Copies of this chain bind each other. A is one copy, B any other.
Amino acid sequence: MKIKIRVPFFETSVKNYIYGDAVLNYAKAADAASKEYDVDVLFVTPYTEIRRVRENTERLIVLAPHMDAIKPGRGIADVLPEALKAAGAQGVVLNHSEKSVTLNILRKTIDRANELDLLTFVCADTIAEAQALARLHPDILNPEPTELIGSGTVSDMGYVREVIRAIKSIDPSIMVEQAAGITTAQQVYDFIMAGSEAAGAASGILTSVNPQVLLNDMVRSVKRAREDLTMQKRSSPSLL
């Protein structure tokens, strides 16, 4: 059975900004924040660190950055789903803009992930793409429309709501994350208040002055948004 994620959640990735022990230290900080604020944190780590991150953290949900739609056998540098699972991965990122695949391959890879109970975290570039990819029923969709990247102002929230509505109209069970250009904890809060089930950041954290502090602030923002949303619902139940 796939691991259950509690929404709203936070997601972060180290890409290739750091490596070796620095990944483990960052993972431990993410794990500590996850426990401190009782917020689920998805952690995308390079293949080489999957096992170590999983073995040395308690609450992180560990994702691989990609996998190939293969079965055990040949393929010397292809990434075997079973190998990720055995190393401790609980999910996988697919179709990231830095590792895009054809629709056909994406569908087959989602099938393999489902066979192995790996969460599928699928990225899209525009609202049209997000709607197309919703037809493949991933667990999580992360639309990063270029329209959204940058300003971080309140006016963006209209777009956020539109993309969520567009995806949910096709498959309401898909969790929608926003991670486009997030650099502050306030943005994390705003995106979740606008209806996102998750917010995420990688470059925004790892190129900041103090990554672990910013990471902690962002996870706390998820908790704050969760509480404020609960409050809102209680005070205006008719809006549900």
Which residues of A pack against B, CB within 8 Å? 13, 15-21, 44, 46-52, 65-66, 70, 72-80, 82-87, 93, 95-107, 124-126, 128-129, 131-133, 135-136, 202-203
> Chain B residues with Cβ under 8 A from A16's Cβ?
70, 72-76, 78, 80, 83
Contact A98 B86 (CB under 8 A): no
The one of B20, B99, B135, B203 in contact with A86, judged by C-beta atoms closer than 8 angstroms, is: B20
Contact B98 A78 (CB under 8 A): yes
**Once the chains are docked, how many angstroms separate the CA of A15 from the CA of B83?**
11
> Chain B residues with Cβ under 8 A from A20's Cβ?
82-83, 85-87
**Could you show 7 A-B contacts with beta carbons less than 8 Å apart?**
A15-B76, A17-B74, A20-B85, A49-B87, A104-B129, A107-B129, A131-B135
**Once the chains are docked, how many angstroms separate the CA of A73 from the CA of B73?**
29
The one of B13, B75, B95 in contact with A15, judged by C-beta atoms closer than 8 angstroms, is: B75
Min distance, Cβ A103 to any Cβ of chain B, angstroms: 5
> Chain B residues with Cβ under 8 A from A95's Cβ?
102-103
> Chain B residues with Cβ under 8 A from A87's Cβ?
20, 48-49
> Chain B residues with Cβ under 8 A from A98's Cβ?
74-78
Contact B13 A86 (CB under 8 A): no
Known contacts being A20-B86, A48-B87, A132-B133, is A76 close to B80, with CB within 8 Å? no
Min distance, Cβ A16 to any Cβ of chain B, angstroms: 4
Contact A80 B19 (CB under 8 A): yes
**Once the chains are docked, how many angstroms separate the CA of A31 from the CA of B77?**
22
Contact B129 A103 (CB under 8 A): yes
**Once the chains are docked, how many angstroms separate the CA of A66 from the CA of B125?**
22
The one of B48, B50, B66, B76 in contact with A66, judged by C-beta atoms closer than 8 angstroms, is: B76
The one of B17, B50, B65, B129 in contact with A77, judged by C-beta atoms closer than 8 angstroms, is: B65
